[in-house]
Chain A
Amino acid sequence: MESNDLKVMFYLAYKNLTKSKITFMVIVAVMAMSFLSITFFASIIDGLGYEFEEGMIKGQTGHLMIEPHEDELYITDSGDLVKDIRRIPGVVGVARRLDASAVARYETIEIGNPVLFIEPENEKDVSDYWRSVIAGEYLSKKDTNEMLMGANLVKSYAAEGDTQKRFDVDVGDKVTLSFSNGFVKEYRIKGIYKTGSRFVDDKMMINFDQYQLIFNFTDDIASNILVSLPQRGVEDSYAEKIIDLGVSKQINRWQTKMGAVNQFVGSLQITNQITGTIGLLTAFATIYIIIFINVTNKRKQIGILKAVGIKKQIILGSYVIQSLAYGITGVIIGNIIMKLLLFLLSVHPLSMPIGPVVPILTMERLVTTSFILIFASIVAGFFPSRKAADENILDAIFGG
């Protein structure tokens, strides 16, 4: 192909694009909408999955969760270990917890439930419970007869029609806890928390020191120690640093402690892949059809150009350039709108039952979607224009 052929090719493409502004705008709008329909839904699902994981990290596991070996019940010397880990540069927070279960009783209702013994101030660095108090107040270190209760245990926060057994309590009411060793104590509800995650909103929280009183322990024990890190993805390097401190306990990454959430998020991701693929195929077909119709309508024009001596490659190239222009412009506009939506939704997140959800658009999805839509537009421009350019001149001009 000669350089002059390219010049004519671009000239014809440019004239077609600039003269047929409405066609251009319609096709670009379809491209942009296709881009949005694929990426926006996927980003909500990704955001939802992220929020589920964050809920678990900030409620249950931290980024790292140090646990005793399988043959041990507790981590010993936990106070010193917390101090040592806190000295590691970059560590955001460290908090230890003790787990137990108790039968809680209020008036005639009795519910067997997990009890979490926490250090209220340290806990603030690794979890979001303190931010999730929706009634009353968060625990303080001095609270020896107070507890925090998860909203899932409280009748007034249950969804309409929910028949699960719950306490008809409010802040200030007293609930009696009976532990497995026979210890019984009454605790006043100081606050009710709700994170939005059903996996963590069913706990009762009591001050860490109470465990020693209840179970008559004098050792410095903990069921687990949660470590909060600056961000996800750095768990391995911090786990190594903790091992370097001489810690021989189990150091679990949050991913390994997700349990049912992992399955749920995994299912979401598979659903996302399926809907994403279907969305891409639909967008591919839509774009193909629209550009196909556009090029097919230019069949006569292609015949005229051939008749007056314009090379087939020039005609074909000019239509591929036009399609490429539709594709690139549509994807760019789709990207801009998507970025604006993501910005708006980061300021005003979507309100969902699990809490506020901010859509997440991964670079991989953005690149894949952009590439496939541009590819679809090239294919959609190439085949019908090649068909028209290969056609007999008279058939193209007069319709045959």
Chain B
Amino acid sequence: MERTIIKTKNLERVYTTGAVKTYALRDISIEIKEGEFVAIMGKSGSGKSTLLHQLGLLDKPTKGSITIGGNDVINISEKERTRFRLNELGYVFQSYNLIPELTAIENVYITAMARDLKREEYERLAEEMLAAVGLEDRMHHYPSELSGGQQQRVSIARALVNKPKILFADEPTANLDSASSEDVINLFRKFNKEIGQTIVMVTHEKDEGEKADRIIWVKDGLLDMEKLKSI
């Protein structure tokens, strides 16, 4: 039986500006199974990225609960959240967000280094990851020397180097051409199939969403029940 890796209950995220309250998320209760490749879709401003940020511990919901691997990740200290992000989660951002002062391999192994691995080990892991995303010949290049697609592949290698429980990707193809976009989605599919990597990806491209196992539709900060029923 597949184990639930992410579970949210009545998740709510409100932004307050003076007396005005804006509900970015309301009453979101979802479950994601281990090894699942899930796409979160919806129109611009629907709340899909906000949902991903809550699941990925990059932001804190104003109400509701989130458990990851059975652990409550809301009521833990900032220090524990940082440790959780380092050891259990991986991130791929829309604009790659690599550190410009680090080469590809350094960008990949910096988080492994922070886990107190020995130099040989974190270098080997980073090399393996870069080879897995097809960048074995670009390891010592700086981000400014790589194309957008290559940078996003480095970003995927960085996200996976610590063998995270979940990989979160926030519109990972939005800045890429169609060929590079396909490469990235194929890589996600490959890691999902080959190593059973759980992936939660926000996208607004329907054909990319269709490559996922399941789509969670979000509309106006709520789960889009109509679309969910229609699948």
Contact = CB atoms under 8 A, between A and B. Distances in A.
A12 B192 CA distance: 32
Given A4-B114, A4-B116, A394-B53, A301 B85 contact: no
Interface in A290-336: 300-301, 304-312, 314
A9 B4 CA distance: 36
B113 interface: yes
Contacts of A392: 59
The 10 closest A-B CB pairs, nearest first, are A309-B86, A19-B101, A309-B85, A4-B116, A304-B97, A15-B101, A393-B58, A16-B101, A8-B114, A308-B111
Interface SS of A by simple majority: helix
Interface in B91-112: 91, 93, 97-102, 106, 110-111
Interface size class of A (residues with CB under 8 A): 20 to 34
Q: Indicate the member of A304, A307, A392 with the most B CB atoms within 10 Å.
A: A307
A307 B106 CA distance: 17
B95 to A, nearest CB: 9
A39 B30 CA distance: 67
Given A15-B106, A304-B97, A310 B58 contact: no
10 contacts: A12-B110, A15-B106, A301-B100, A305-B99, A309-B82, A309-B86, A309-B89, A310-B82, A310-B86, A311-B114
A310 B101 contact: no
Contacts of A141: none
A339 interface: no
A314 to B, nearest CB: 7
A241 interface: no
Contact of A308 (B78, B85, B101): B85
A309 B59 contact: no
Nearest to A305: B99
Nearest to A4: B116
A310 B53 contact: no
B201 to A, nearest CB: 16
Contacts of B153: none
B113 A308 contact: no
B85 A314 contact: no
A4 B117 CA distance: 9
Given A301-B99, A304-B97, A394-B53, A310 B110 contact: yes
B83 interface: yes
Interface in B12-67: 53, 58-59
A392 B85 CA distance: 15
Interface of A: 2, 4-5, 7-8, 11-12, 15-16, 19-20, 300-301, 304-312, 314, 392-394, 397
Q: Indicate the member of B53, B97, B102 with the most A CB atoms within 10 Å.
A: B97
B69 to A, nearest CB: 16
A397 B98 CA distance: 11
Given A8-B110, A309-B111, A394-B53, A15 B97 contact: no
A300 B99 CA distance: 9
Contacts of B83: 309
B8 interface: no
A314 B111 CA distance: 12
Nearest to B83: A309
Contacts of B114: 4-5, 8, 309-311, 314
A337 to B, nearest CB: 29
B158 interface: yes
Nearest to B56: A307
Given A5-B114, A300-B97, A397-B93, 7 more contacts: A308-B110, A308-B111, A309-B85, A309-B114, A310-B82, A392-B59, A393-B59
A307 B169 CA distance: 13
Nearest to A310: B114
B53 A397 contact: no
B99 A394 contact: no
B87 interface: yes
B22 to A, nearest CB: 14
B219 to A, nearest CB: 22
Contact of B91 (A8, A16, A308, A312): A308
Contacts of A312: 78, 82
Interface in B106-149: 106, 110-111, 113-114, 116, 142
